[in-house]
């Protein structure tokens, strides 16, 4: 099969994107070629584009969550057939040696093992979900030990704290913790209070208020805690809330933060969890059961989506709007435009 491929290439660190021809890839064993009809821009992608936040070999094609139709299946792939509508997480940042995984192009290779079938769901809605939802669920379940949905529930009255829950990861973390039975306390800016209560938080506090730490201490103890914003101030705040007993919390960001010795900060590439062999069973559950069900049955309230026109040529502006905080919604583009 022959097709013309184009990509938004990043030629060097912090350089502007260039729209140019890209290779016509042939999927190998375990892989599929997807006609990319929706890509969501993540803060992670945007920071690599603008700040060279992670080392990548240039010229490179960024982006790792896409939705579209299966064009070609690799030699041994049985889970998908040509024409299937899918959403996929590509190993762009785990296998940086090839540009075939990059989401900012028209035709993308992905692994069948990290692809989910989405039925008739809208590509734009489907593509907005997986990265941030996986970050939240992996942090809570795989890294902290919160129950897996369908395999256990919290005990009556047990509490989870989600700090900085106003964004995408935070909203999903609130919903996941609630779905397995926890009473969820969140912090956010006041404009997000109502939405977070609708998502299941029993109380939402302003993380900027003077007495937020003492208020949260009196609302605890928390069986699990996570900062979804990941900033250093939030890490120190949670470490303080966990005193005097100590404990552990998950953070979406690392950084050089002076955490007390009785507190463990759990930080990792949560969004990439399904690319790791050690989490293969989780990945099977995620792509074959949980994610298709969530998407087809609207099981979680998605982060509000903003569709941007302009295809590949509009990605640079969209990524900059994410990196600078101008965009308040999850930005989605169609590379075929």
Ligand X SMILES: NC(=O)c1ccc[n+]([C@@H]2O[C@H](COP(=O)([O-])OP(=O)(O)OC[C@H]3O[C@@H](n4cnc5c(N)ncnc54)[C@H](OP(=O)(O)O)[C@@H]3O)[C@@H](O)[C@H]2O)c1
Query: Under the rule (CB under 6 A), what is the footprint of ligand X?
Result: 43-44, 132, 135, 164, 166-170, 188-189, 192, 207, 228-231, 233-234, 252-253, 269-271
Distance CA 43, CA 49 (A): 10
| Residue closer to ligand X, measured from CB, 6 or 227 | 227
Minimum distance of ligand X from residue 225's CB (angstroms): 14
Measured from the CB atom, the residue of 114 and 234 that comes closer to ligand X is: 234
Q: Please report how close the Cβ of residue 222 comes to ligand X at its closest, in angstroms.
A: 17
Instruction: Give whichever of 72 and 188 is closer to ligand X, judged by the CB atom.
Output: 188
Nearer to ligand X, 188 or 201 (CB): 188
Residue nearest to ligand X (CB): 167
Rg (C-alpha) for the chain, rounded Å, is 20
Query: Least distance from C-beta 292 to ligand X, angstroms?
Result: 21
HSE, side-chain direction, 13 A CA sphere, residue 15:
15
Choose between 26 and 326: whose C-beta lies nearer to ligand X: 326
Closest to ligand X by CB, 132 or 315:
132
Q: At its nearest, how many Å lie between ligand X and the CB of residue 134?
A: 8
Please, what is the Cα angle at 122 between 117 and 124, to 5 degrees? 105
Residue 9 near residue 17 (C-beta atoms within 8 A): yes
CB of 286 to ligand X, least distance (A): 14
CB of 97 to ligand X, least distance (A): 21
Give the shortest CB-94-to-ligand X separation in angstroms: 12
Nearer to ligand X, 79 or 233 (CB): 233
């Amino acid at each position: 099969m022959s097709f013309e491929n184009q990509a938004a290439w990043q030629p060097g660190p912090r350089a502007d994107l260039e729209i140019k021809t890209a290779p016509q890839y042939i999927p190998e064993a375990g892989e599929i070629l997807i006609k990319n009809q929706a890509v969501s821009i993540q803060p992670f992608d945007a920071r690599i584009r603008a700040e060279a936040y992670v080392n990548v070999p240039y010229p490179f094609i960024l982006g790792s969550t896409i939705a579209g139709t299966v064009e070609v299946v690799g030699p041994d792939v049985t889970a998908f057939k040509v024409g299937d509508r899918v959403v996929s997480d590509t190993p762009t940042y785990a296998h940086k040696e090839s540009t075939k995984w990059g989401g900012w192009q028209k035709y993308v290779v992905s692994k069948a093992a990290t692809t989910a079938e989405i039925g008739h769901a809208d590509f734009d809605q489907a593509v907005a979900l997986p990265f941030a939802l996986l970050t939240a669920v992996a942090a809570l379940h795989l890294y902290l030990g919160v129950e897996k949905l369908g395999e256990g529930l919290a005990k009556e009255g047990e509490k989870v704290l989600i700090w900085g829950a106003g964004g995408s990861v935070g909203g999903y973390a609130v919903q996941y913790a609630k779905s397995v039975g926890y009473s969820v306390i969140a912090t956010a800016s006041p404009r997000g209070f109502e939405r977070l209560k609708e998502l299941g938080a029993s109380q939402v506090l302003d993380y900027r208020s003077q007495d937020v730490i003492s208020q949260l201490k009196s609302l605890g103890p928390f069986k699990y805690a996570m900062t979804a914003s990941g900033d250093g101030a939030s890490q120190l705040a949670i470490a303080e809330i966990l005193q005097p007993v100590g404990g552990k919390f998950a953070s979406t960001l690392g950084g050089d933060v002076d955490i007390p010795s009785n507190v463990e900060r759990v930080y990792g590439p949560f969004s990439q969890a399904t690319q790791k062999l050690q989490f293969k069973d989780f990945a099977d559950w995620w792509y074959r059961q949980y994610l298709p069900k969530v998407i087809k049955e609207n099981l979680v309230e998605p982060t509000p989506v903003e569709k941007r026109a302009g295809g590949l040529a509009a990605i640079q502006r969209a990524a900059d709007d994410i990196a600078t905080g101008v965009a308040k919604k999850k930005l989605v583009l169609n590379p075929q435009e």
